[in-house]
Each structure stands twice: as structure tokens, then as C-alpha cells.
Amino acid sequence: MNLRQVFASVLMFGVAGLLLFMYLQAWIEEQHTESGERLQQQIINQDFTLPPPGTPRRAALSRSAPPGLSKHEMAILDSRNWKDKADPFSVVAASLVSQLSDQQKMRKSPLSQFRGVYLPPAWHPLNKTLVKGDRWKDVDSTQEKRRSFLHDFCKKYNSGKQLRTHLVHLVSRIYVEDRHKVLYCEVPKAGCSNWKRVLMVLNGLAASAHNISHDDVHYGKHLKKLDSYDLKGIYTRLNTYTKTIFVRDPMERLVSAFRDKFEHPNSYYHPVFGKAIIKKYRHNAREEALKTGSGVKFKEFIQYLLDSHRPVGMDIHWEQVSKLCYPCLINYDFIGKFETLEEDANYFLQLVGAPAELKFPKFKDRHSSDERTSAEVVRQYLKELSKEERQLTYDFYYLDYLMFNYTSPIV
């Protein structure tokens, strides 16, 4: 056998070994995927019907809790916070744990860190003991109407329906401020930068919101998120802290996000989103545009948004609020709106006992010389779209419009 034959034989064995390795790897991944899909399907198929009113707590738990639930998990389920109702989320999560094999429990799956997540099932009144004077009477009345509207909507929308949300995502956008017991769900383009500044001041990380830079707010990692705590920490905070969410008219929020990310220099959104959008939706695109991703047009951005096969994934700046903060699964105590941001925010600070000198900042975080994205500005951008595109964009945010009682735009 000459050298050439030896080399050919070694090469053939190498190729065969590589193919065998790739086959085994694919087989292992397939097994893991099937296992994960089975777990997800168990979540989807759970029946979340609560026991009839008046059912004794222990009877309700014994009927709802799955086999294999530990004493510790039963004790948590039996907490006074549940007020005679079995919690469907805890039952599902505990059931999944009991059904996992020892080998699966050791595996670091996305669900493993959220075994037995206990979300508060009850809608309770706001604690207004720290509010002084009558100046907040009108704001409070508006707040109660918003809470009642969302509660009734979720009750109707979720009636008889099954949970179709991965538990791991539910609290991932919620920021924690422990001193004043505040949970804030971040909705980008609805005052979130200034809200993070306020949380940093409340937490003693800064003396004034006006001295905190944009980079410190968004990249400093000074604030903790709820999903960074263990299960006991998550459960305790969801049930005892004041939970707030601030929202904005969906179209205004969408246009504001587009203007911020695509009409100004941006070292992330242009190369990551801009290049992909221009490549797919712009005919005869110039080489410079394909290279930099700059100059995305609003119509191209909407084509990307509505495309079921987007060339690049979604982003929190234009994701639906219903998928960021899950308002029908986490019962928020306070619902603020960008349209009444200052008065809502300052009333909320009163509710949680913030220092009297702390007021919500009025300044615009970035591009301060630009006109704010108003209803009139939105109308100008919507003119670039066809009637069908305008309708589809509204349909995309339909649930957000309904949840927060926003007036649907004329398309």
C-alpha cells in the first residue's frame, strides 16, 4: 500500500467518523427536543378551572394538587395569600416537577429554575394609607377605572381558556426595588428610562434622577430583575410588593421606536436589524445601504414587523405589551399611561411612600431636540402605508388596544 492509498484510507475513516458523530449529535438533540415539547404540551393542556366558591382551602388543594407534591410545596400553596383559592400556576409547575425523572431534574432546562412559580391569583385594592390630601382624587378615580377595566377584560378574555405561556418568560421584564417594595414591568418607549432612574434613586443608588446618564440606566446593571431571585423571593415579592406597569398608545409607541432606532445613528439596530430589513424588503438596494443598514424606511420596517418569516427576530421596543408584561397573568396594582405620565407617576410615588422631594423627571432621555411622537406625527408616518398595511399593523397590536382601552386608529 503506497502513501496515497494510506492517506485515502485515513481520510475515509475520518469522514465516516465525522458522519457518525453528526448523526449521534442530531439524535441526542432530537430526544431533548421531544422531551421539551412534551413538557410544553403539558403546560398547554392543563385545565385551570378553579374549585367552586366556598370550597374549604385544604379540600381545594387536595383536589387540585398533583400526586408527588412535596410538603414544602403544599405549605406554600396553603399560604394565607391564596385566600381559599387553589393557584393554577403553582399546580402546573409542581406537577411538572413531580413528573420529571431524576435525570431530567438534573438537566438545566429553562423550566428548572421556575419549578413551582406561584403567581398571585387575587386582585386586591390599592393601599392608599400613605397618600396625603385630596389633590390626587381625580388621578385615583382614573386609576381605579383602569384597574377595573383591565380586570374585567382579563376575566372575560381568560374565561375558560388555558394557559399558553411558558412560565420562564412571565417575570423576565420586571425590575425590583426592595426598599419601597416596588415591582416595575418595563415597557420600552413608555417612559422606561426615567422610571429606571427613579428606581435607582428609591434604592439609594443615586441622589437625583437628573444625574444619571442614559448608559448608566440601560447598561449599568444597577437594578435587579425579578427572575434573578429564587422561587421564594419571586413568590414573596409578587404577593407583597406593589406591581406597576406604564403603557402607551400602541401606534405612538411603534413610531417612537422606529424614529429612535432607525432615524438616528445606532451601532446595534442598523447593522443587526437595518441590514436584514433592507436586504429582504428593498428592491435594487444600493451596496452602501446593504453594508451599513442605515436609512430603513417606515414602510420597510412595517413589512418586517408583519412578516411571519422575519429575517431577524422581534425586539422589546416594538413587542406587544401583552407579551412583555403579561397583564392578564400578573395582576398589576397600578396601571400608568404615557399620556398622563407625570401625574400618574407622582401619584404612584405617593402610594409607595417615596421621599417627598422625589418627582418623576420631565426631561426627554434622548434626541431632546426632536419633536415628541404625538398623534399627529403618527398620522404622517401612517400615510406611507397602504390601507391594508395600516389595518394589519393595528391587528398586530389589537390586544394591547383592548387591554388598556385605547381608541382604535382610523385606518
The model's confidence at residue 129, banded by pLDDT at 50, 70 and 90, is: confident
Query: Could you give the C-alpha distances from 246 to 41, 124, 175, 373, in angstroms and in order?
Result: 32, 19, 13, 17
> Are the C-beta atoms of 381 and 258 separated by less than 8 Å?
yes
Rounded CA separation 235/72 (Å):
14
Say what the pTM is.
Answer: 0.70
The model's confidence at residue 208, banded by pLDDT at 50, 70 and 90, is: confident
Return the pLDDT at 171: 92
3-state secondary structure of 239: helix
Rounded CA separation 301/263 (Å):
12
Q: Which residues contact 309 (CB under 8 A, 6 or more apart)?
A: none
The model's confidence at residue 156, banded by pLDDT at 50, 70 and 90, is: confident
Residue 271 DSSP symbol? I
Rounded CA separation 347/359 (Å):
10
- Tens-place pLDDT, residues 334-381: 999 999 999 999 999 999 999 999 999 987 777 766 888 999 999 999
